[in-house]
Amino acid sequence: MNVNTQKLSSARFAQATDAFVEIFTASVDFDKRMAQQDIQGSIAHATMLCRVGVLTQAELDLIVNGLAQIRDEIERGEFEWSIKQEDVHMNIEAKLTDLIGIAGKKLHTGRSRNDQVATDIRLYLRDEITSILVELKRLQLAILTLAQTHAETIMPGFTHLQVAQPITFGHHLMAWFEMLCRDAERLSDCSKRLNVSPLGAAALAGTSYPIDRHLSAQLLGFSRPSNNSLDSVSDRDFAIEFTASASILMMHLSRFSEELILWASAQFDFIDIPDAFCTGSSIMPQKKNPDVPELVRGKSGRVTGHLMALLMLMKSQPLAYNKDNQEDKEPIFDTVDTLLNCLRAYADMVPHLVAKKENMYRAAKQGFATATDLADYLVRKGLAFRDAHEIVGLAVRLGVETKRDLSELSLSELQSFSALIGEEVFDVLSLEGSVASRSHIGGTAPNTVKFAIENARQQLN
């Protein structure tokens, strides 16, 4: 057995940790990412200890200065992380004691790594959610601008991926916008719920020192101290909630991606994704692949995987803290990175998407997209909807047989199906007439879409 010495927590052990176990149990390689939050939490804890008389002002000053020095060293990339100190918390504490001596050893009074790590991840996620929301908003603004440009651009709307009814491209873009609004709400909501301070829960049962949990919570910008010490050190709901919100957001981006990929194909040919966001093929010279949307679609699976991992991580844990929880970090970090990267790629790409209006228009002309408009026209003339539906079905059949759109049938042909049909029917059979008639809230009419964009802009600001 290989042995190591000098661990902060090792006095109880007669034997030193096995060298491989030391590597196996260490988390510093990844949890050093929370170093800034760890220092922030320690300063708040020490400040509170001083305020209640557990530390002297001189000790607090030493601790705060020492931690500030460590923070600078970390920022400069000069801090020497060691797996001998297992994790970010013990690395920083050990270094502090090296720097300031006995006062450093007092920092951990009335605290455990259990409430410390629970605090750090919450602070970390709170910060990251703020950054994610900034990128999300940038994407939303890009969508709004593109929707504005295309408030009148006509394209086919689909159900079952079959041409259904004509819509405006701006309206389609605003559907994506709405999904992202709900994603932003979910993330803000998650941020509010996780903003509760675990500090003071200590290992699991609280501490016998006369601590002021309100003060440490307030110093860290938490809304309040948590209610139950056992729950505080073991709860990772907030991480699950975050990855769940992230999975839904990624699912939305994946749907968005799927449409862009289809539309960029020669078969649809609705959009052009600029070269800067595509790559070529190493063998087929003609290829231009929509890599960015494809990767985002692929990465949605990865984030949902992290959600599953965290659910499984928690499902059988007895109260309170268990070392299992160390496994929460990598899924959380990777979810944050993936989300930020995908949002960034999308926010950069969307302003450069080029809609091929003529192709969209031509596609909307195929597939009898205005059949429902003809039925509605007949209803306005006094027919019951089911009867109108039947008549239009016959007209569509003639169109299919003679390879013509409804708007290309002659008036007398149309009148052969119903005498109620008059000259003005061609207004409703046109794509422009069809979309313009859907002018209620949430409809696809260009004016309604412009109104929705205006509202959305105000909501975002």
Q: Which residues are catalytic, by number?
A: 160, 281
- Considering beta carbons, is residue 270 or 321 the nearer one to ligand ARG? 321
Binding-site member from 27, 42, 119, 338 for ligand ARG (CB under 6 A)? 27
In this structure, what is the dihedral angle of CA atoms 240, 241, 243, 244, given to the nearest 10 degrees?
Answer: 110
- H-state helical runs in 150-236: 169-194, 213-219, 229-234
Binding-site member from 37, 191, 216, 325 for ligand ARG (CB under 6 A)? 325
Site for ligand ARG in 50-89 (CB under 6 A): 87
Applying CB under 6 A, which part among 36-44, 65-73, 323-331, 409-417 lies near ligand ARG? 323-331
Q: Is 120 an interacting residue with respect to ligand ARG (CB under 6 A)?
A: no
Say if strands 196-197 and 224-225 run parallel, antiparallel, or are unpaired.
parallel
Q: What tokens appear for 213 in the block?
A: 């949990």
Q: How far is the CB of 206 from ligand ARG (least distance, A)?
A: 15
Q: Are 39 and 67 in contact (CB under 8 A)?
A: yes
Binding-site member from 321, 333, 368, 417 for ligand ARG (CB under 6 A)? 321
Q: Is 323 an interacting residue with respect to ligand ARG (CB under 6 A)?
A: yes
Q: How far is the CB of 328 from ligand ARG (least distance, A)?
A: 7
Q: Is 117 an interacting residue with respect to ligand ARG (CB under 6 A)?
A: yes
**Measured between alpha carbons, how far is 155 from 172 in angstroms, rounded to an integer?**
9
Q: Is 444 an interacting residue with respect to ligand ARG (CB under 6 A)?
A: no
Q: Are 180 and 147 in contact (CB under 8 A)?
A: no
Q: How far is the CB of 101 from ligand ARG (least distance, A)?
A: 25
Q: Are 126 and 187 in contact (CB under 8 A)?
A: no
**Measured between alpha carbons, how far is 353 from 272 in angstroms, rounded to an integer?**
6
- Considering beta carbons, is residue 32 or 457 the nearer one to ligand ARG? 32
Applying CB under 6 A, which part among 124-132, 140-148, 320-328, 426-434 lies near ligand ARG? 320-328
Interface map 393-432 toward ligand ARG (x if CB under 6 A): ----------------------------------------
Distant-in-sequence contacts of 377-381, Cβ < 8 A, 24+ apart: 377/421, 377/425, 377/428, 378/418, 378/420, 378/421, 381/420, 381/421
Applying CB under 6 A, which part among 223-231, 236-244, 317-325, 362-370 lies near ligand ARG? 317-325
- Considering beta carbons, is residue 123 or 378 the nearer one to ligand ARG? 123
Applying CB under 6 A, which part among 70-78, 94-102, 110-118, 391-399 lies near ligand ARG? 110-118
Q: Is 332 an interacting residue with respect to ligand ARG (CB under 6 A)?
A: no
Strand (E) or helix (H) holding 132: helix 113-149
Is the preceding omega at residue 244 within 30 degrees of 0, hence cis?
Answer: no
Q: How far is the CB of 119 from ligand ARG (least distance, A)?
A: 11
**Measured between alpha carbons, how far is 400 from 160 in angstroms, rounded to an integer?**
19
Q: How far is the CB of 116 from ligand ARG (least distance, A)?
A: 7
Q: Are 77 and 98 in contact (CB under 8 A)?
A: no
Please enumerate in sequence order all residues whose Cβ is within 8 A of that of 91, keeping only pairs 6 or more positions apart, or say none: 28, 32, 79, 81, 82, 85
Applying CB under 6 A, which part among 55-63, 111-119, 275-283, 436-444 lies near ligand ARG? 111-119
Q: Are 183 and 248 in contact (CB under 8 A)?
A: yes
Residues binding ligand ARG (CB under 6 A): 27, 31, 87, 113-114, 117, 321, 323, 325-326
